[in-house]
Chains A and B, each alone.
Chain A
Amino acid sequence: MPWFSKSGKEKEKKLLGDNLWVKCGRCGAHVFKEEWAHTHKVCPKCNYHGKLTAYERISLTIDSGTFTETFASITPSDPLSFVDGKGAYPAKVDKARAKTKLNESVVTGAGRINGIPVSIAVMDFRFLGGSLGSGTGEKILRASNYSLEKEVPLIIFSSSGGARMQEGALSLMQMAKTCAGISRLNRKKIPYISVLTDPTTGGVSASFAMVGDVNIAEPGAVIGFAGRRVIEQTIQQRLPNNFQTSEFLLEHGFLDAIVNRSEIKKTLSGILSYWNHN
């Protein structure tokens, strides 16, 4: 290893090691930790929107004191007795649960957004990459069923690498299951707003995340169906720089708007205020 990179790394380690700084995941800028918290993990230099935990997102979106969590005990089982090269699925689940203090890759509940009652589901990327397992699909369906019963809008924040391979075809079926829930909302004219955050790919982008009455995304989020590497290998050509970003999707007509994190709550309540206005 050349001397300069080593010394650079050490310097960085020292800089980050004193716990005062956070390094931006995109531009690499060192941001004062206090400022990072103040901007809710948005880089002040490049506007990179870092990943939020589900509860951070909820506290940013739902009026304080109005959130009631639902179905929190739902957690993965191991329907396929799945073991891969790196071990058994239940061991991975245990690790994810310990790390995140969550039971699944989505948190669901009811609350208010600037006074408007909603049903909300927020995915958490830290739990197995936000993957869509049976428990995830079940919670999202129940959140949409809650919307249907109470006649309140549904808001879903997506953040997911896609389907959960360890649950095989059952994971695939969660795409159909969650969309079946959305279909019922459409029929009963209950609004569903999808907020796509970094990243929303694979089976989640190809199901509930893409069929909101209104689709909005945070700036710079990776959103797409097939993996970038798979596409590059298949077509053997370089992809545009903004490929599979929020900006790319907006340009091609699949998003209604790109909204900065600090504006999302206001945007949601603004749109919802038009529902059943007259």
Chain B
Amino acid sequence: MTEKRKTAHDQSPGIGSGRAALDVKGRNGKRQVNSTLTPWQTVQIARHPQRPVLQDYIRMICSEFIELHGDRAFGDDQALIGGLATIGRHRVALIGHNKGKTVQENVDRNFAQARPEGYRKALRIMRLAEKFGLPVVSFVDTQGASPGLDAEERGQAEAIARNLTEMAGLRTPIIALITGEGGSGGALGIAVADVVLMMSHSIYSVISPEGCASILWRDATFSAAAAEALKLTAPSLVKLGVVDEIVEEPEGGAHRDHEATAVAIKETLAKHLKNLSALPIEKLLNKRFQKFSSMGKFAR
């Protein structure tokens, strides 16, 4: 428990200073915020403490949510939850990283850093979706999979790898939406999808800017430079072919207007759920395979 609080405490200076910077910008005009954000400022918005989290989205988007618990092998991870959900006229299986809104919630949910049992629960629910003929909607918001002795003992690497492999061949449509932080393998572990969406101020990266700076610059104070270099913003990732579409947030960011954010998400999900359900399954699987097998740029 103490170490988790310490993690939260360690992060607070970054969030605090970022928030201060945004508030200044906010006073100067919200419009400016959207167009002139640096990648590092986007990182701060993606981590903003008032940004909507999964429980907000479920409340605002789903007319029903039946939570399903447990991986049937070890336990029930509250960092990554899932269940059956109704979004408009669509019935889906919903999975997602579960950040809290208070320190206590975050401690209980391990700051949405899922353990292997979380990824295995997600896979179990995805298999259920396949059996029930339901599309999967995945909400991604984690700084990364949980690093810890327990996670390693229970096979964090295997759990993520298994999801990547099984999701590639899952015989039902999958939509992933990066809502806040798309932290490396912990994000990808529920984000192999037919359509990958990103909120306009979310981030998706192979490593956190802080981690990258401490390895490649040998100094975590270069996090802003690392954020720039990693091309972790939604527009950059659309250009790189990693992300299909951006869901625009209200002016200033999702934290300024939860309802408007939810409306934008609901509309986008409905559009893609409709489109994907029209595709025959073999065509869908081929498209998914082509999509991921064409990712990457190399020379020869």
**Which A residues fall within an 8 A CB radius of B?**
73-77, 79-80, 82-86, 104, 133-135, 137-138, 141, 163-177, 179-184, 186-187, 202-203, 205-211, 223-227, 230-231, 234-237, 239-240, 243-244, 248, 252-254
Contacts and interface: CB of A to CB of B under 8 A. Distances in A.
Given A83-B229, A137-B296, A183-B166, A169 B204 contact: yes
Contact of A226 (B147, B192, B222, B292): B147
A170 B240 contact: yes
Interface in B190-241: 192, 204-207, 212, 215-219, 222, 225-226, 229-232, 237, 240
Nearest to B204: A169
Contacts of B204: 169
Given A180-B289, A206-B157, A225-B151, A175 B164 contact: yes
A225 B296 contact: no
Nearest to B150: A235
A244 B240 CA distance: 34
Across the A-B interface, give the 5 residue pairs with the lowest CB-CB distance, nearest first.
A134-B296, A226-B147, A85-B217, A179-B164, A84-B216
Contacts of B232: 168-169
B165 interface: yes
B7 to A, nearest CB: 7
13 contacts: A74-B299, A135-B296, A172-B206, A177-B295, A179-B164, A205-B161, A207-B160, A207-B185, A211-B158, A225-B152, A240-B149, A243-B149, A252-B155
Interface residues of B, number: 60
Given A172-B206, A176-B188, A244-B152, A225 B299 contact: no
B165 A182 contact: yes
Contacts of A86: 216-217
Given A77-B298, A235-B148, A235-B149, A225 B156 contact: yes
A65 B149 CA distance: 45
B86 interface: no
Given A73-B300, A85-B217, A225-B151, A176 B7 contact: no
B154 interface: yes
Interface in B86-127: none
Nearest to A205: B157
Contacts of B148: 226, 231, 234-235
Contacts of B215: 165
Contact of B296 (A170, A226, A243): A170
A225 B157 contact: yes
B161 A208 contact: yes
A225 B165 contact: no
Nearest to B161: A210
A215 B108 CA distance: 34
Interface string B233-273: 00001001010000000000000000000000000000000
A179 B299 contact: no
Residue from the set A133, A141, A183 with the largest chain B CB neighbour count within 10 Å: A183
B169 interface: yes
B298 A165 contact: no
B172 to A, nearest CB: 14
Given A169-B204, A184-B169, A234-B7, A174 B161 contact: no
A254 B298 contact: no
B164 A165 contact: no
A274 to B, nearest CB: 22
Given A86-B216, A180-B168, A225-B147, A168 B230 contact: yes
Nearest to A177: B292
B219 A85 contact: yes
A84 B205 contact: no
B165 A138 contact: no
A243 B162 CA distance: 22
Given A175-B188, A225-B160, A236-B6, 7 more contacts: A138-B296, A163-B207, A165-B207, A180-B192, A186-B169, A231-B149, A253-B155
B165 to A, nearest CB: 4
Given A74-B300, A84-B217, A172 B188 contact: yes
Nearest to B147: A226
Nearest to B153: A252
A77 B299 contact: yes
Contacts of A167: 206, 296-297
A153 B297 CA distance: 27
B205 A168 contact: yes
Contact of B3 (A137, A183, A235): A235
A144 B161 CA distance: 16
Given A76-B299, A231-B152, A179 B207 contact: no
A165 B216 contact: yes
A72 to B, nearest CB: 9
Residue from the set B2, B145, B153, B219 with the largest chain A CB neighbour count within 10 Å: B153
B184 interface: yes
A79 to B, nearest CB: 4
Residue from the set B147, B154, B205, B215 with the largest chain A CB neighbour count within 10 Å: B147
A177 B157 CA distance: 16
